[in-house]
Amino acid sequence: MELLSNYFRELRSAALDGWDRFWFTPAPAHTLGLVRILAGAMMFYTHLVWTLDLDAFFGSQSWLDHAAVAALQADSSAWSPLWLCEPRVVLPAVHLTALIVFACLSLGIWTKTSSILSFVLVVSYAHRAPLAMFGLDQINALLALYLAIGPAGDALSLDHWRARHWSVVEPQAPPSVGANISIRLIQLHLCVIYLFAGLSKLQGPAWWNGSALWYAFANLEYQSLDMTWTAHHPWLINLMSHTVLVWEISYVALVWPRLTRPLVLAMAVPLHMGIALCLGMSTFGLVMLIANVAFVDPALIASMVRWRQSEPRQIRMARVPAPHSRPTTQVRIRR
């Protein structure tokens, strides 16, 4: 009995310690900063494309009128402020504002405000035309949400750059719990996505008999690169189908250990680039890769940024050796 109670005491203690370490260890904001740059750019492009047919999807005579969207969202709490923006002048103005907000998010200008507004805008567009949305918008929304939660402008942002250059003391943003929580949420959400994407495939015979990818390649409406030659190599289709399935289901377990993480992330590149190139969904493939950046060590990103910043100056220094009487030059190099 005592053995059992000791076990549960130890289990409780380990679980609480693990939870505390997982969520509340301060982390540098470089990973979050890189996700912000890329996700903000994707949100900007996603909504820039709406500009080409803005009135047809969001105007007063759009593909989906009030009655259609009300029927689609009959049991839902979803609502979009874009319903208030239908007049011909208001909608373009709101849309232009949205594009500016997404650009600000990507560049890291007024990042806290632009990240919160980005989330509100992404969700507003999605709720206004739900039938036109797909995985890209789902990932855009979750990235916008988690970027709004954390200090996404603490690194790799114009906000941070301005703070550095206007302050007498160089402000190095300290590692923060907020940055860690944001990144952890993206990581866990990604694990949920891959796990359910994989598990739901187990309901289909085509993923078991290995022909599933043929049916993806043979879909003319999706097809952007002709991969139908694979029909002559069934073993290749089988191998690719099984690899996708195993990778998706095992992602949740193998992305965490230090040794397997690089392999799992490396596998994400051909898988998502395959979707991008072969199935005509470059934006979806790219946004999934952007979400995977959340698993990249901030120290690696920071060292790459430092290398990029210092390399040209070091070259310049090598050509024209700086005299010892000019210490300011050396200070600049260290930056």
Binding to another protein in span 275-334, by CB under 8 A: 280-283, 297-299, 302
Task: Please report, as residue ranges, which positions from 182 to 211 form the binding site for another protein (by CB under 8 A).
Answer: 183, 185, 188-189, 192-193, 196-197, 200-207, 211
User: Minimum distance from CB of 335 to another protein (Å)?
Assistant: 13
User: Minimum distance from CB of 316 to another protein (Å)?
Assistant: 26
Residue closer to another protein by CB (options 106, 217) is 217
**Cα–Cα distance, 269 to 211 (Å, whole number):** 22
Closest C-alpha among 203, 31, 2, 35 to residue 105: 35
Residue closer to another protein by CB (options 203, 328) is 203
Q: Could you give the angle at which helices 90-107 and 30-50 cross, rounded to 10 degrees?
A: 160
Residue closer to another protein by CB (options 73, 243) is 73
Residue closer to another protein by CB (options 71, 315) is 71
Check residue 161 for interaction with another protein (CB under 8 A): no
**Cα–Cα distance, 149 to 187 (Å, whole number):** 14
# chain residues binding another protein, by CB under 8 A = 100
CA 136 centroid distance within chain? 10
* Helix (H), strand (E) at residue 75: none
As a whole number of Å, the end-to-end CA separation of the chain is: 61
Residue closer to another protein by CB (options 242, 317) is 242
Contact 24, 180 (CB under 8 A): yes
Task: Please report, as residue ranges, which positions from 141 to 160 form the binding site for another protein (by CB under 8 A).
Answer: 141-142, 145
Task: Please report, as residue ranges, which positions from 212 to 231 form the binding site for another protein (by CB under 8 A).
Answer: 212-216, 218-224, 228, 231
In 81-157, which residue ranges form alpha helices assigned H by DSSP?
90-107, 111-128, 135-149
Closest C-alpha among 184, 185, 162, 173 to residue 29: 173
User: Minimum distance from CB of 78 to another protein (Å)?
Assistant: 5
Please identify which residue in 63, 161, 256, 307 interacts with another protein, judged by CB under 8 A.
63
User: Minimum distance from CB of 97 to another protein (Å)?
Assistant: 19
User: Minimum distance from CB of 272 to another protein (Å)?
Assistant: 11
Integer Rg of the chain from CA: 24
CB atoms within 10 A of CB 253: 12
